[in-house]
Structure 1
Amino acid sequence: MLSKKRIAAILILFFSFNFFGQQDSTTVKEKLVVQGGVYKPLAPAKAAFYSAIFPGMGQIYNRKYWKAPIVWAALATPTYFFLANNREYNRFRTAYKLRKTGFQDEFTDDLGVVSVSLETLEKAQEQLRENRDLSLMWGTILYVLQIVEASVNAHLLQFNTDDNLSFQPTFIPDPIMFDAPKIGFTLKYTF
């Protein structure tokens, strides 16, 4: 059983760490320096806002110019498929409505020969509507993802990435036991 002095010492050590746990907020802001400028707490919000207004603009605001064409291509693809599927859906929908009312549609010949059945028109409408809705869903997902990417990138740009923070393995020979090599791991960090 531990003595009262040991328990008291452990409790004092445990609670003394909390006294040194917090730092003054003014000194933290002075230490946070971005390459070529100071810490900007509203930069992620601006990047997200710009991306929401015009896709790719947040990436341009973050100075990641190469990402803007990728965003535009990613959003242009579902937009193209949405428009193409919607155009075809309306075409088959119009043909279906005309056939149901007894008029000639684009799939009926002048002699009255039907090249596409009524069932095929219904199935084509269902498939094209599903494809159109999927294109809209993917376009919305990509739109939201590019906003999130711009915001996260703006957050990450403000982190300190000095060489002092990097991991560099070094081999230190032991002068006493030179013949028997040893392998070790040392983690060194400074504030």
Structure 2
Amino acid sequence: MKSWIACSIYLTISLSLTILFGVVPVLGQSLTNNEGAPYTHFERKQFDSAFHLNIADSTDREITPGLPDPMSVMYKSMIIPGWGQVINKQVWKVPIVYGLLGGLGYYSVRLNKQYHDYRAAYYNLNPETDNDLRFGPTPSYIPEDANLQELRTIRNTYRNRRDLVYVGIVLAYGLNIVDAYVFAHMRSFDVSKDLSMRPHIKPTITAQATPGISLSIDFITK
């Protein structure tokens, strides 16, 4: 839960920085003075001096000592599923990872066997094909007088389900890697109740001896 909360905070901060550094400069270019004319370079400089915005980007940080390198955790999860969760001290996730991969793997083997059985039956019972048992003998549980159209439909159904399960196995493997990487990357973020954004607004005097307002925003992290 904490990792998802931290991820939301990270995305919020990134979006805020994008708006501040992407939208604000564009708006600043269209500012006009009281006469309706664009600000001159000197007037814009006065405006910038009257409004100070200081932001400490907490995302630009080094790896916290004592915590694993997220990239190392990701590579280890790619080699052995669940290894990254063990490094992240989330051993309780390992049975979930192997239960998901094992369940999908078992189901895919079962579907693959059913597909092969009906493929062999459709080939062997089809009068338009050679009687060479190319895909093996017809399973005993499939009657010799089975409808060829039904056999073909069932064969295709098992094949499609098997392929879909293969996709699920790949997604489960990728989810294992993403989970380990994201949690390792977000562990150093402060998700306590004290996490806050502290704005400081106070009047100030600019270099041109004109009154202004100073705004400072501090992102409090560990």
2:81 is paired with a residue whose SS is coil
With structure 2 as the length reference, what TM-score do the two structures score? 0.57
Match of 2:139 among 89, 106, 113: 106
Alignment-derived partner of residue 49 in structure 2: 12
Structure number with higher relative contact order (C-alpha < 8 Å, ≥ 6 residues apart): 2
Residue deviations 1:46-65 (CA, integer Å, cap 9, x gap): 11111111111111111111
1:60 is paired with a residue whose SS is helix
Which amino acid letter does the alignment assign opposite residue 11 of structure 1? D
Which one has the bigger strand percentage?
A: 2
Shift of 1:157: 1.0
Shift of 1:21: 5.3
Is the aligned partner of 1:83 residue 2:109? yes
| Structure 2 residues not aligned, in runs of 5+ | 1-33, 198-217
With structure 1 as the length reference, what TM-score do the two structures score? 0.65
Match of 2:171 among 141, 155, 170: 141
Q: Given that residues 82 and 93 in structure 2 are in contact (C-alpha distance below 8 angstroms), is that contact kept between their aligned partners in structure 1?
A: yes
Change (3 A) 1:95 1:166: same
Q: Distance in 2 between matches of 1:152 and 1:47?
A: 10
Q: Given that residues 96 and 121 in structure 1 are in contact (C-alpha distance below 8 angstroms), is that contact kept between their aligned partners in structure 2?
A: yes
Q: Given that residues 55 and 143 in structure 1 are in contact (C-alpha distance below 8 angstroms), is that contact kept between their aligned partners in structure 2?
A: yes
Q: Distance in 2 between matches of 1:108 and 1:142?
A: 34
Q: Distance in 2 between matches of 1:7 and 1:166?
A: 32
Q: Distance in 2 between matches of 1:141 and 1:86?
A: 19
| Overall identity of the aligned pairs, in % | 25
| Structure 1 residues not aligned, in runs of 5+ | 168-187
Shift of 1:162: 5.1
Residue deviations 1:73-126 (CA, integer Å, cap 9, x gap): 1111221111110011111111222223347733599xxx73522112111110
Change (3 A) 1:81 1:10: same
Which one has the bigger helix percentage?
A: 1
| Alignment coverage as a number of residue pairs | 154
Q: Given that residues 78 and 177 in structure 2 are in contact (C-alpha distance below 8 angstroms), is that contact kept between their aligned partners in structure 1?
A: yes
2:194 is paired with a residue whose SS is helix
Which amino acid letter does the alignment assign opposite residue 150 of structure 2? T
Shift of 1:165: 2.4
Alignment-derived partner of residue 31 in structure 2: none
Which amino acid letter does the alignment assign opposite residue 47 of structure 2? I
Alignment-derived partner of residue 95 in structure 1: 121
Is the aligned partner of 1:45 residue 2:75? no
